[in-house]
Each structure stands twice: as C-alpha cells, then as structure tokens.
Amino acid sequence: MKFGKHGLQAAAGLMVVALASGVASAQVTTRLVTAGGSATTAKILPGGSTSMDVRLDTTVGTVGFGLRLNQTAPGTSGYVSITARSFSGSPYSDSTFGIPDGTALAPADALLDPDNTWNLGQTTPSFTPTAAASNILAVNLTLTASAGTPLGTYKISPLSPNSTVTDASLVDYPMGGEFDLVVGQTLTVTKSGTGTGTVSDGGTINCGATCSDIFPGTAVTLTATPDVGSTFVGWSGGGCSGTGSCVVTVDAAKTVNAQFDLSVGPTYLLTVTKSGNGSGTVTSSPSGINCGATCSFSYASSTVVTLTAAADAGKNFTGWSGGGCSGTSTCVVTMNAATSVQATFTDTIAPTVSFTSTPPNPTTSTSASFSFTANEAGSTFECSLDGAPFASCTSPHGVSALSVAPHSFAVRATDPAGNTSSPITYDWTVEAVVPPPASTAVPVPALNDWVLAVLGLMLAASAGLMLRRRMH
C-alpha cells in the first residue's frame, strides 16, 4: 500500500491533476541514523535489536510520507525484521494511511525480504503542512536480526519508488539515505602481566580504554605496543601466539589476551640534591623520588622522569641545575645514564617573634622575667634592656636590680638563613614600695614590777579570808 500524492488527493476529495514529477529532490533530504544520534551504522549480535530514526531535512512544508525499507545487501535476506514503530515526537501522527498506529508489526509483513510489504508512513493531522526545518523526526523503527542471521553488514535504504515525502502541493520527493546494520560477534581484548601497554586494531579497539567491539565475521589484526619500561611478552587466545601481529577471524565470540611485563634491562640512578638557604620538596613522576626523605631512585633505561619542586611556606624555589635542566618549571630527564639534578631553594623572609609571658605592669619588683618564641625552628634571639646594645639571649630571659623607673625590654630573632626580624618591645614601670600608715590607737601603759607585787598580795589575802569563812 503506497502513500503518495494520489492517496492524498483521493482522501481530500481533490481532482487528480497531472503534476510535474521532477521537483528538485534537494528540497527534501532523508537520513537513516541511530536513534537520537547521527551515526549511520549500528552493531548487534544475532538475535539483537537496534533503534533507528528516519529524519528529514526540508526546505518545503510537508504533509506526510510513505516508506518501505529495502535490504540492498548482502544477497542473503529474510533475517531482519521491523519489530516496532513509534511516531512519538513526529509531526506525522495521523494513521489514515499505512499501518494503523498501535498495530503490532508482524514479522511476516515487516520482514526485509528484500523489502517489507507495509507502508510505514503516516500523514500530519488534517494534512496540515509542517514548517520547513532540519532534523525532523519522521518515524522511529526497531530493527531486529533473527538468532540465525548470518554474520555480515546489512545495508538498508528506502525502497524506490514506494518511499516518498509529499509537500503541501502534493508533490512527491523521493526518500534516500542508507543505514548499515552490522550483525556480528564480539571480540574482547584483555591484558595481563606486570607491565603496561596498548592493543589496537587501527580502528575501534584501542585498549587503552576501548577493549571490545562487534565484527561481522571479518578478520581483525591486533597490534600490541608496550609502554616505556615494559616489554610485550606475547598473545594467547583467539588462535594467536608469539609477539607479532594477532590476526583473528571473529566468526564467534572470542577473547585475545596480551601480556606485558616490566622490562628486564639496565637501570640508572637518578639523584636529587638540594642547595640554598631555603627548604622544599622534590617529587617525581613516575614515582620513586620524594625528597624530602627519598632523594635517589633507580629507573629502567629510557624512562622519562619529570621532577617537580615545591618550596616550603616562606621559601622560594630559584631553579634547577644538572641533568640538562634549568629554570623554575618542571625538570624532565630521560634515564639513559646515572644522572644528578640539583634544586635550589632560598629563604628571604625574616621570622616572626612574639612574647609568651611578661612581668605585670606596673610592679614593685626590681626583677623581671620574659619568655618569647619565633615561628621558624632553629631561630636564635638577641635581647636589649632600656636601649642597650642587643646581645645573645635565650627564652626565658631574666633581668634584675632594676631601678624605680619606667623600663623597656626588646627582643629580635634570626632564622637559620640569616634573616633577622624587627625587634618587639615590652614597656613596664617599677614603682617604689609605699610604707604602711602610722597607728592612731591610745597606748596602754605597761605594768611595772611593784604593781604586780601589790596585786599578788591582794589576791592572796582574799583567798585566806574565804578559807576562814568556810571553816566556821
């Protein structure tokens, strides 16, 4: 059942008129692509399915299309079916013509043998023209290969003259385009061993990252490339062995393994030294040096080593020497002999000094103690009291025999690189001791010896009198 200008004219009750049939086909271009994509090839296993879009690029408004798919190659046919159809997202949503929308596609009718017998197209509702546009979705089709499909590449295109796009003037434009359905088996590459490397077929397999693909029963040539410091030991699986190329015919699911081992050959020592009055760390890629603590490492011949210098806080990296390196960027060394590289770090920043304890202010004490610290390990200190010349000192530092007066204590620090800080000072006052105030109480006269004697006689007489009264 063909959908075209005559079907439209009959449906619309229009008179059939002779229309010129050679309107430039460039006004409508048909593309058969993977669903939602732009690729014109899909790969599946026997019994597998794939989703394909029929898309239109038009410079005219259109009202519908008729479509039958045709398998143009290979000579074998009767294996690929159209098992689903969807107009979701398509402007052609009126099922007046072609297979009714929602009708299941029967394999007997939808089989490409070499073409399907059903019109897969539809019209716009009420024949309302679409706007001229690019990438219009006409229809989405699901293609399924039967389990017994011979391996190969099945080329599919719209059947001519049954496949056309019709514009608002009921002029038909032939549909073109081609879609390759590859029905094949999977070739998988694995890698083993202590080393590293890449396996490639010069096309889709680059293992590396992509280590499998589907091939339509064809012969695939694999090549193994070891990384620096590794050796390709050989193939196994897929009928391959040795260290040459591996040629495998993918007429069934096959796995080929490539073994890479670390090279057994000469190694050379790379030594890093550090100079200057600063500090920092040198690291390497590949790993081995972290100087820091580990400043030498042996690398396999021809290994390319990249050294990176990082200055500590407050320090500067000023450059490389040795090993052909200079400047302040990374140092790249190819290890074909024992090599020494020097990294220079400088320190131009003075330390920061601070007090951790000071005497109270004011105070009456004529001695004082000060504690202080610096932010750089290994710093030394100099102290000054009341503007005297700075002299070496340590924390805590004490001073004594201070006069009653204001005083000033200063300290500065020098780091191991010889950078001296500005002094910090502490000012305080020693005050005189104030005596306690005189007492205002009335003095009690002291009792002399004769008064005490009289009191003793009086007490004795009183005691005797009391005794006589008790006896009477």
Average pLDDT of 324-352? Answer: 95
DSSP string, 128-141: PPPPP-SSEEEEEE
In which band, very low, low, confident or very high, does the pLDDT at 336 lie, cut at 50, 70 and 90? very high
38-42, 345-349, 407-411, range with the lowest pLDDT = 345-349
pLDDT at 15 over 70: no
Which one, of 55, 108, 43, lies nearest residue 82 by Cα? 108
In which band, very low, low, confident or very high, does the pLDDT at 18 lie, cut at 50, 70 and 90? very low
pLDDT tens-digit series, residues 285-299: 999 999 999 999 999
pLDDT at 345 over 60: yes
In which band, very low, low, confident or very high, does the pLDDT at 3 lie, cut at 50, 70 and 90? very low
In which band, very low, low, confident or very high, does the pLDDT at 235 lie, cut at 50, 70 and 90? very high
Domains 5-182 and 353-429 share a fold: yes
Q: Kindly list the distances between the CA atom of residue 370 and the CA atoms of 14, 148, 154, 178, 430, in Å, as whole numbers in the listed order.
A: 112, 95, 93, 92, 15
Q: What is the pLDDT of residue 440?
A: 67
**Spatial distance between the Cα atoms of 132 and 109, rounded to a whole number of angstroms:** 33
**Sheet with 136-145: strands ordered across:** 28-34, 49-58, 136-145, 80-86
Q: Are 68 and 4 spatial neighbours (Cβ–Cβ below 8 Å)? A: no
Class of domain 353-429: mainly beta
Domains in the chain: boundaries = 5-182, 185-262, 267-346, 353-429
Higher-pLDDT residue of 5 and 364 is: 364
pLDDT tens-digit series, residues 385-429: 999 999 999 999 999 999 999 999 999 999 988 899 999 999 999
390 φ, ψ (degrees, to nearest 5): -65, 140
Q: In CATH, what number does 5-182 get?
A: 2.60.40.680
Instruction: Please report how many Cα atoms fall inside a 13 Å half-sphere around the Cα of residue 129, on the Cβ side.
Output: 14
Q: What is the pLDDT of residue 464?
A: 61
pTM of the entire structure?
A: 0.56
pLDDT at 6 over 50: no
pLDDT tens-digit series, residues 436-461: 877 666 565 555 666 566 666 776 66
Average pLDDT, the chain: 87
